[in-house]
Amino acid sequence: MSQLAVANRVTRIQESASGAAAERVRQLRAAGEDILSLTVGEPDFDTPDHIKQAAVAALDRGDTKYTSVNGTPELQRAILGRVERHTGVRYATNELTVGVGGKQVIFMALMATLDAGDEVIVPAPYWVSYPDMVLANDGTPVIVEATEDNGFKLTPEQLRSAITDKTRWLVLNTPSNPTGAVYSRSELAALADVLADFPQVWVLTDEIYDEIYFGDGKVVSLVEAAPALRDRTFLVNGVSKAYAMTGWRIGYGVGPAVLVGAINKLLSQISSCPAAVSQAAAAAALDGDQSFIPETVAVYRRRRDLCVEGFGSIEGLSCSAPDGAFYLYINCSGVIGKVTPTGVRLDDDQAVTLYLLEEAKVAAVQGSAYGLSPYFRISFATDDETLHTAIEAVRAAVAKLR
């Protein structure tokens, strides 16, 4: 029997590092280990009742059939209304695509536009999937380090230096996973000034965390800060993070009709449409009572402060307070080179996270997975008791290093 030949697009990418870390936690727990997991970017809150009730009502109505590839009329109206309220920019239904989560929408945008050799600028630290999505679609990720000194944000000078005649996309994620960095209106405008000189470069702006913001006012979208870029900006969002709907799998993107049409053509062959019941729930989330968001953001803010104070007080670790999302990107340079009680030297941030898993029973994700070391990412989208316990366990483990 001949062996199946796996395509190059599979062999040149890696499994999601955050997904792999979460799976390792599941395996250890199944083996009887008591692990404190700070790996998964998933709200620990339940989906609000009125959203679940909308799904039940959809089932009772028999709304269980195929829909249009870009969603039901109700969901389309809800998404376009939300985008206009948040950004001030109006989009038409032919400028909207709806996918099985924001992750699929991003993947499809790259699939629809990249040919071999095309370059995509990805600032690091980055969400773990961006570079591999580019590679899977025959593109070349161009990684540009956005350092802690610059607030983990891409500068205009870095952007200009990274653009070549092969550049097709710039990926922006604001608020950021893994750092929580948020670009201001002026910072976005400065990047737009650079892009004005390079009309072949489009921008994919991932704004999935835009409701989880700890500053004044709201997160500014690129299309709001730089309206001249509207015709080459693809804005991606979804309901997973803001409404605790990760498992419902509804994401969306808005942008120029030529791009959206190409994405929807591909989706018609790949997934037909998202689940109709999930669409009804998402419409209720976007159009219904929004009190869940400020209530949960207040909790995330408290947890953020708890973690910044707690982890920041551990000798050898440091961190700055993120402006959005629910992650802390912890600098562990102060423990690199130290030796564990068993004689193992911690040579990099992956070794640090392995040590914390073994000694403290705390699971985190190494900074190398996000393209910038030496750091590790923790998610504070979990209860206070778990966070307190994890902080003290890490403190005790670090104190054992020599």
pLDDT in tens, 310-327: 999 999 999 999 999 999
Q: Is the pLDDT of residue 50 over 80?
A: yes
Secondary structure element (H or E) that encloses residue 112, with its range: helix 102-113
Secondary structure element (H or E) that encloses residue 384, with its range: helix 384-399
Check if the beta carbon of residue 126 is closer than 8 Å to that of residue 173.
Answer: yes
Q: What is the pLDDT of residue 268?
A: 97
- Note the pTM of the prediction, 2 decimals: 0.95
Q: What is the pLDDT of residue 189?
A: 98
E strands present in 38-117: 96-99
Check if the beta carbon of residue 311 is closer than 8 Å to that of residue 319.
Answer: yes
What average pLDDT does the segment 107-124 reach? 98
For residues 76 and 82, give the distance between their C-alpha atoms in angstroms, rounded to a whole number.
10
Q: Is the pLDDT of residue 21 over 80?
A: no
Helix (H/G/I), strand (E/B), else coil: 314? coil
Q: What is the pLDDT of residue 178?
A: 98
For residues 282 and 319, give the distance between their C-alpha atoms in angstroms, rounded to a whole number.
35
For residues 397 and 150, give the distance between their C-alpha atoms in angstroms, rounded to a whole number.
30
- 98 forms beta bridges with 252
The amino acid that residue 355 corresponds to is Y
Check if the beta carbon of residue 397 is closer than 8 Å to that of residue 341.
Answer: no
Alpha helices, H only, 181-333: 185-195, 222-225, 257-270, 276-287, 292-312
What average pLDDT does the segment 116-123 reach? 97
Secondary structure element (H or E) that encloses residue 141, with its range: strand 140-145
Measured CA distances, 241 to 180, 249, 284, 358 (Å): 13, 11, 15, 30
What percent of the chain shows pLDDT beyond 90? 92
For residues 309 and 317, give the distance between their C-alpha atoms in angstroms, rounded to a whole number.
11
Angle at 387 between CA 383 and CA 390, to 5 degrees: 140
Check if the beta carbon of residue 386 is closer than 8 Å to that of residue 380.
Answer: no
Q: What is the pLDDT of residue 1?
A: 61
Q: Is the pLDDT of residue 17 over 80?
A: no
The phi, psi pair for 98, rounded to 5°, reads -125, 130
Give the tens place of pLDDT for each residue, 172-181.
999 999 999 9
Give the tens place of pLDDT for each residue, 359-398.
999 999 999 999 999 999 999 999 999 999 999 999 999 9
Question: Where residue 34 falls among pLDDT bands split at 50, 70, 90?
Answer: confident
| Closest by CA position to 38, among listed 301, 294, 372, 360 | 360
What domains are defined for the chain? 8-46+292-399 (3.90.1150.10), 65-287 (3.40.640.10)
Burial class of residue 333 in the structure, from the number of CB atoms within 10 Å of its CB (0-12 exposed, 13-18 middle, 19+ buried): middle
Per-chain mean pLDDT for the chain: 96
Question: Where residue 58 falls among pLDDT bands split at 50, 70, 90?
Answer: very high
Q: What is the pLDDT of residue 384?
A: 97
Q: Is the pLDDT of residue 124 over 70?
A: yes
Give the tens place of pLDDT for each residue, 148-202.
999 999 999 999 999 999 999 999 999 999 999 999 999 999 999 999 999 999 9
Both tokens of residue 167? 């550049």
Q: Is the pLDDT of residue 2 over 80?
A: no
CB neighbourhood size of 376 (10 A): 28
